[in-house]
Chain A
Amino acid sequence: MNQQATSKSQEGQATTIKKTFSRETSVSVTIMADPSIVWALLTHGSDFPRWNSTVISIQGEIREGNTIELKSTLDEKRTFKLKVKEFAPEKRLVWGDAQGSRVYTLAKGAGGGVLFTMSEKIGGPLFPLFARMIPPFDEAFEKFAADLKKEAETIQRSKK
């Protein structure tokens, strides 16, 4: 099984591990904001396009068991129908389809911040056939994490 990491994991920098039958991209960043703010931003779908430069639209309520429709800048012509598989407030959110799952986790980070991690693993027996057609996620992941950090910290710093 060949395994290849495109880069070392650093704050805000995406890492991709490629295998024959799967590909996994992840990014982590420390956000100096209350976890409730980060969670609120991640779970209010209609508000995503305002702060997240990688999302064109999200329709549907992000709640466990619901199906949402996501349009991303990665492939503007396609609408992804994704099921919300896990919804643990301020801890873990997972959505995905048959090809893969996007996992968001919130944990205690350095200096009282929130360690936000986002990863997505895609794959399956037919993965080698369509792997070339799937664009790399690294840049979009880095933008997503940077946008989330900026927006959450802006809200945290807002006046009392």
Chain B
Amino acid sequence: MTTDELTSQFVSFQGELKSFLLRMTASVQDAEDILQDTYLKAHAKLDTFRGESSLKTWIFSIASNLARDLLRSRKRWPETVTDICREEALHNRQFFQEAMQIRETSPQGKFEIKEHIAFCFTCVSKSLPLEQHLALLLKEAYGFKVTEIAVILNQTDAMVKYYLHVSRAKMIEIFDRRCSLIDKQGICHQCTELNGIFNPKQKAQEELVKIEMARDAEDTSKDELFDLRMKILQELDPFESGAAELQLHHLEHNRRVMEKYLEENL
């Protein structure tokens, strides 16, 4: 494979790769750094690529290893991340001022509940063990097959199946217990709260009926609800969507809060 071929193919899926790295790291800076390092490493090792897997699988393997190296020494986030960050945000006037500024001036400053669902998953899934987090995102959000994930993570198919099964079960359990979109007794209504702040004239209920997951919550199985949540992730590019700047600002806030929280509490 030539450098031109590498570059051309890399460009064709770099949006997906950058989105994957953002959802792994919750940091724009880290995602961009790893994206660049992935290309450089792939270029340097191009003569070792023998086409045993697709180039995309090989590149995601390099990127996953770099993400792993970065994240291995960092603590995982608690599943209550959104509660902790909400409390911090409520006492942070600057956060809301900046967010309102983005909302009013940026073409990527819309607030949509669908976007917040993807954002929320990015935060909560960081409570999974690292290997499970990697496997779950690769399969459910980026459509890799078990055998491809096994290559990317350098694991057996059996272990990848284990990671996928357990991580999926954990995420379903957490959202089933917490998310008020799928259970009225759920303790987290942050998406509708924020909708009230950013879209005061738009009723939350009207926004929710547009989302299949919330509309069908009572009649749909937990597995199907999780699949609908994953469908939202698959369809949204966190860097290119109409809410990207607002959600990335929020993500940066949560990342900073988590770093401080983990340093002080664990």
Query: Residues of A at under 8 Å CB distance from B?
Result: 33-34, 36-37, 40-41, 44, 47, 50, 154-156, 158-160
Contact = CB atoms under 8 A, between A and B. Distances in A.
B162 A40 contact: yes
A40 B163 CA distance: 9
Contact of B161 (A44, A47, A155): A155
Interface of B: 145-147, 156-159, 161-162, 164-166, 169-170, 173
Mostly, the B contact residues are helix
B145 A154 contact: no
Contacts of B159: 36-37, 40
A44 B129 CA distance: 11
A158 B164 CA distance: 9
A129 B169 CA distance: 44
Contact of B156 (A34, A50, A158): A34
Contacts of A50: 166, 169-170, 173
In this complex, the member of B145, B162, B164, B165 whose beta carbon has the largest number of chain A beta carbons within 10 angstroms is B162
A159 B156 CA distance: 15
Contacts of B161: 37, 155-156, 158
B78 to A, nearest CB: 13
Contacts of A40: 159, 162
Nearest to A33: B158
A158 B173 contact: no
B166 A37 contact: no
Contact of A36 (B158, B166, B169, B173): B158
Given A33-B158, A158-B164, 7 more contacts: A37-B159, A47-B166, A50-B170, A155-B158, A155-B161, A155-B165, A158-B161
B65 to A, nearest CB: 21
A159 to B, nearest CB: 8
Nearest to B145: A160
Contacts of B166: 44, 47, 50
A160 B150 CA distance: 11
A160 B157 contact: yes
B127 to A, nearest CB: 11
29 contacts: A34-B156, A34-B158, A36-B156, A36-B158, A36-B162, A37-B158, A37-B159, A37-B161, A37-B162, A40-B159, A40-B162, A44-B166, A47-B166, A47-B170, A50-B166, A50-B169, A154-B165, A155-B158, A155-B161, A155-B162, A155-B165, A156-B158, A156-B161, A158-B161, A158-B164, A159-B146, A160-B145, A160-B147, A160-B157
A154 B168 CA distance: 13
Top 5 nearest A-B pairs by Cβ distance?
A34-B158, A160-B146, A155-B165, A40-B162, A36-B158
Contacts of A36: 156, 158-159, 162
B101 to A, nearest CB: 42
B220 to A, nearest CB: 19
Contacts of A156: 158, 161
Contacts of A154: 165
Contacts of A159: 146
Given A36-B159, A37-B158, A40-B159, A158 B147 contact: no
